[in-house]
Structure formats: C-alpha cells, structure tokens
Amino acid sequence: MIEELAKLSKSPLGNPTRLAIALYLLSRERATFAGLRKALNLTAGNLEFHLKALEDAGIVRTYYGFGKRPRKFVELTEEGVEELSEVLRVLREAVGDG
C-alpha cells in the first residue's frame, strides 16, 4: 500500500487542485473554462496552470467552441478517466473501503 500511495504522489492527480478538476469533469461530458473556474473558486491563471499540466499528461483536452462568443471547453480524456479510476482505487484501499 505504501508503494501505491508513493506512486500516487507522483501522478498529476496527486495534486489536490488537479484531482478536484478531474473529479469535477468526471460527471460531465465537458465544462467551460469559466464554469470550471467558478465551481472550483480558482483564478484564471491558476486554473490555466493546472490545466496545462493535466493536458501535458494526457488527462484532459481543451478546445475552443463558438456560439454567441468563443468559449474554452475542457474534458477528460479516456486516459484521464483511467488515471482517475486508478487514483480513486488506491485512495479507497488506503482508507479501507476497497
């Protein structure tokens, strides 16, 4: 168990803010940047920093869509869902719920 928790700390989702982003996105098809920022009470710069790290790791994908105005969208990738599932499994086992 100690080794798995140590491995978790090296995951991009080992960061609490990045984990919160992934958890927020898990139950949604996608989120707007503004909606995600507001829901997690983050500054735009802070959210952008964490999204870049998650995108570089292949956990999220960001893209622009157009309606009345351009919007930045964020969604979990398949790899992101798999990584988040593994993190949740390790955490469940660590608290004795798995």
Distance CA 72, CA 34 (A): 8
Kindly report the CATH number that applies to the domain delimited by 2-94: 1.10.10.10
Q: Could you give the percent of the chain with pLDDT greater than 90? A: 73
**Domain residue spans of the chain:** 2-94
Instruction: Specify whether the backbone of 5 is left (phi greater than 0), alpha (psi in -120 to 50) or beta.
Output: alpha
Q: Could you give the percent of the chain with pLDDT greater than 70? A: 97
Q: What is the pLDDT of residue 5?
A: 77
Strand order in the sheet with 70-76: 31-32, 70-76, 60-66
Give residue-wise pLDDT tens across range 32-71: 999 999 999 999 999 999 999 999 999 999 999 987 889 9
Q: What is the pLDDT of residue 60?
A: 98
